């Protein structure tokens, strides 16, 4: 990493003991410090060029892509809730099993971590866990629709923990 300066003008101060070699202030600020700050942060002198400490264009573009992906996912969740939950649950279940196999160093006969359990878990997440959870939570929400009191919310949590959660399959 290098910093290029347009002008190397440092003037010496004189007369005060111990201040020899310190850049002087012109116009109320240290020119060298100002140039270093501009080079690091991409300030006023580097219009169109990010500095070393400025956020890179890649970070900004990646952030925009993630925001767009999140918005697209939420739109799909509203328009096709069951399908979206099935795809999400199946993908996460498969990833969970693959990660568990890797952590446990459990390999198949060919030495790969993609064991026969990975597609089974994907099918389980997509075809059992997601639809059952979707239906049970929908029923719970319909039972407590329009009830906003503290007592109703506490009762909803109790019903969810004592009835719905034990029925939902655990992975």
| Average pLDDT of the residues in 76-97 | 95
Q: What is the dihedral angle through the alpha carbons of 109, 111, 114, 117, rounded to the nearest 10 degrees?
A: 30
Domain-wise residue ranges, the chain = 1-54, 58-167
Note the pLDDT tens digit of each residue in 57-70. Answer: 667 778 788 888 89
Number of neighbouring beta carbons within 10 Å of residue 109: 6
Other Cβ atoms within 10 Å of 45 Cβ, number: 15
How far are the Cα atoms of 85, 91, 93, 163 from residue 124, in angstroms, in the given order?
Answer: 13, 10, 8, 21
Tell me the range of 23-37, 47-61, 73-87 where mean pLDDT is highest: 73-87
User: Which pLDDT band holds residue 88 (cuts at 50, 70, 90)?
Assistant: very high
- Mean per-residue pLDDT, 115-133: 93
Q: Indicate the DSSP class of residue 55.
A: P
> Whole-angstrom Cα distance, residue 41 to residue 110?
52
What is residue 142's predicted lDDT score, i.e. its pLDDT? Answer: 94
The predicted pLDDT at position 82 comes to 95
- pLDDT for 56 equals 63
Residue 3: the pLDDT is 47
């Amino acid at each position: 990493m290098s910093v290029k300066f347009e002008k190397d003008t440092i003037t010496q101060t004189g007369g005060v003991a111990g201040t020899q070699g310190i850049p002087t202030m012109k116009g109320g600020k240290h020119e060298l410090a100002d140039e270093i700050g501009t080079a690091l942060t991409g300030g006023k002198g580097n219009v169109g060029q990010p500095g070393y400490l400025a956020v890179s264009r890649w970070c900004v573009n990646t952030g925009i892509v993630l925001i767009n992906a999140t918005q697209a996912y939420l739109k799909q969740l509203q328009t096709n809730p069951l399908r979206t939950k099935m795809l999400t649950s199946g993908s996460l279940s498969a990833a969970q099993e693959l990660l568990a196999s890797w952590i446990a160093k459990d390999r198949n006969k060919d030495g790969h971590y993609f064991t026969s359990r990975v597609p089974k878990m994907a099918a389980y997440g997509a075809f059992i866990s997601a639809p059952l959870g979707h239906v049970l939570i929908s029923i719970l929400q319909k039972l407590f629709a329009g009830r906003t009191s503290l007592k109703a919310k506490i009762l909803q949590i109790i019903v969810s923990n004592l009835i719905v959660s034990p029925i939902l399959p655990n992975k």
